Copies of this chain bind each other. A is one copy, B any other.
Amino acid sequence: MLGESIRLRSSGIGVRYIERFPVKGAVVMTTIVDVARMANVSVSTVSHVMNGTKKVSDGTRLRVENAIRTSNFTPHPVARSLRSGRTKSIGLIASDTGQYIFGQMIAEVERGTRRAGQTLLLANSDEDREQEKKVVQTLLDHRVDGMIIAPVADSDPEIFERCAAAGCPVVVIDRTSEPGFDQVGIDNRSAMSSLTKHLIDIGHTDIALIAGDLGVWTIQERIVGFRQALQDAAVPSLHGEVIPTERGLVDGQSEIEILLQREPRPTAIIASSGLLTLGALRAFRSQNLSVPEDIAFVSFDGVMNSEFFEPKLTCFIHPVERIGQEAISLLQRRLADPQAPAETVQVPGALFHGTSCGCDGTVPLILEVSSSSD
């Protein structure tokens, strides 16, 4: 059949042949029935041998195992799923899979699923509430065994309800504010608090936080940490300010430029995310301000290749890989024991002491772990 040439049409001139493209897809796969026939047993026996669901005598088991091996049979996962109701696949929804921070995380989640013999369905919510709703539904339709979601800023609570209704366990990433869910993130408050405290410790009294989108829960938490540090310092004449930016994936450059033109301008600036850090650096450049001489700068998140920046960023580093690992391990635990109590994991990040804060390095930069979890 393959490569057979067929007559297409005959014209007046002669006969025209075309080579038929090798037709693939007509491959017959060996099924459990074939195996059963080979081993002279019933299909149920084969199934029991494969799954160990029932005792089978040594003799027949050997025969079956042999038949499986010589025919190198693998059970059809689709058929298996249909009967068992389990797909051995898990879904991962990120708001922007192209972002570097998510790429790292995705890689860890993928590794985890692969190790567990599951497959990973990846979907992107494009940082859009409706899109997120749609992809959640798609993954539910596909009957994934579980889901890991990095929710968009203003995500619809309905998505969680739908998952619950479908009996699909969910692990929430980044946010740790959904009661009753397994979730993993960082301690936004104490991390931001540490950064702020460091600036205060080295003498700054006019600090601005480039906050980002105030509607996002993690941003709100970071602001709380910022305010807490200011309050704890109890320094008179200490002035702190929170600068919001436009919503969405913006670097906030224009907002920061306006801030920098103020008189007097703040002596230190904190950027609340990696993207805002880039915006800040752009703004410094456009205003011809050098860091840390003209202004001190620290950032909440590292940015890629910042080792080549001048100056080096003093920053909190987001433990992305660790978050991915914890997420998939939480999900596996939940799948193994659906009734376990919901767990919230806050993974520790790290502080990197660069030169952008402008201190001589003698003032320590310490991540204080907040003991209160409220």
Contact = CB atoms under 8 A, between A and B. Distances in A.
Contacts of A304: 100, 304-305
A310 B104 CA distance: 26
- Counting contact residues on chain A (CB < 8 A from B), the size range is 35 or more
A222 interface: no
A110 interface: yes
Nearest to A100: B100
B278 A167 contact: no
Nearest to A342: B21
Interface stretch (A35-43, A79-87, A263-271, A363-371): A79-87
Contacts of A76: 82, 143
A74 B162 CA distance: 14
Given A122-B120, A304-B304, A97 B106 contact: yes
Interface in A97-136: 97-100, 102-104, 106-108, 110-111, 114, 119-124, 135
A80 to B, nearest CB: 9
A167 B122 contact: no
B122 A106 contact: yes
B120 A121 contact: yes
Interface string A62-93: 00000000000010111101100001010000
A358 to B, nearest CB: 18
A57 interface: no
Interface of A: 20-21, 23-27, 74, 76-79, 81-82, 87, 89, 96-100, 102-104, 106-108, 110-111, 114, 119-124, 135, 138-139, 141-143, 164-169, 278, 281, 303-306, 308-310, 338-341
